[in-house]
A and B are shown apart, each in its own frame.
Chain A
């Protein structure tokens, strides 16, 4: 049972344009969401997170939006840069529960930013 889904395996955008990566979840107990970026031969690195008490969190070029009623979150990258080309994973957790290190990840979206 895939509780976190990233339905787009890949996304291609032009440098300078906006990249929008989407993520859906089914478990209503999830209340904290994270995005990770992964380059080949490296481990995932934390990008940005959002608590369910917010609907938006911004950090520089990266903004995460959360729509709790739709159980949907998205990551916006503006402007996109070639160095942003990587695999992006969304993850979710029930922060108030006994998650103990367990994040539930989506399958990932490969973002390619063309110069």
Chain B
């Protein structure tokens, strides 16, 4: 059974640009969550999608957005990139839409903003 797949794995952008990251969840998983990991900050929740609907959102500016497609694949977009957006962006999927969620994470997309 394939795991959570994230593309691209690494990318470099410059300030002011925008970026789109992609995530394919485990087959059958309909909930997809996104997290940002920066040194010393642990994992910060960005948003969650289920059945193409954003159900939960973290405390990030509107430059961070996402969407989910009918096949449960998800994308997140960051516009007007800032140096502080350099981070590892992790996608996770889960089978249960609520409750005691065990999230399965992908390997992440490492974004560097110059």
Contact = CB atoms under 8 A, between A and B. Distances in A.
B38 to A, nearest CB: 10
A98 interface: yes
A100 B28 CA distance: 17
Contact of B102 (A46, A96, A102, A105): A46
Interface in A45-73: 45-46, 49, 51
Given A43-B90, A44-B90, A95-B99, A102 B45 contact: yes
Nearest to B6: A43
Contacts of A91: 43
A42 B9 CA distance: 10
A41 B31 contact: no
Contact of B33 (A4, A41, A102, A106): A102
Nearest 9 CB-CB pairings of A with B? A101-B48, A43-B105, A101-B33, A100-B56, A105-B43, A100-B55, A105-B42, A107-B42, A95-B100
Interface of B: 4, 31-33, 35, 40-45, 48, 50, 55-56, 58, 90, 92, 94, 97-108
